Structure 1
């Protein structure tokens, strides 16, 4: 629902394909690495690990939706 409204607004404001704008936004936000908690001895450390493209895109979409819900309007 949020994405459909955003696509309509993009199409109204600029006369380009809104899907390409959405793809570009997702590509710009997609992370390559993430941190995971690893137990080393008795303490827990945040260790960076590489994530796949599917998981990265899922994170990017989740971040974009969360940011759009925080915005007024």
Structure 2
């Protein structure tokens, strides 16, 4: 099974729903407040102001799914 971390823009609402509008911020989209990263293998997810702020956290989480070292 391939495990991936996906990142998507989220709306300004209380529950930070994922924005599926063609261009975030265009009408009727209320705008986005940040990004949500989620794991395809478990229920892990985090929300951050920028994609870059989530990169290290996502990388660290992805490493928790490794069962053996990658051969060099």
Same fold? TM cut 0.5: no
User: Over alpha carbons, which structure has the higher Rg?
Assistant: 1
Q: Normalization by structure 2: what TM-score?
A: 0.30
Instruction: Please report the TM-score for the alignment, with normalisation by the length of structure 1.
Output: 0.29
Higher normalized helix content (fraction of residues): 1
| Higher strand proportion | 2
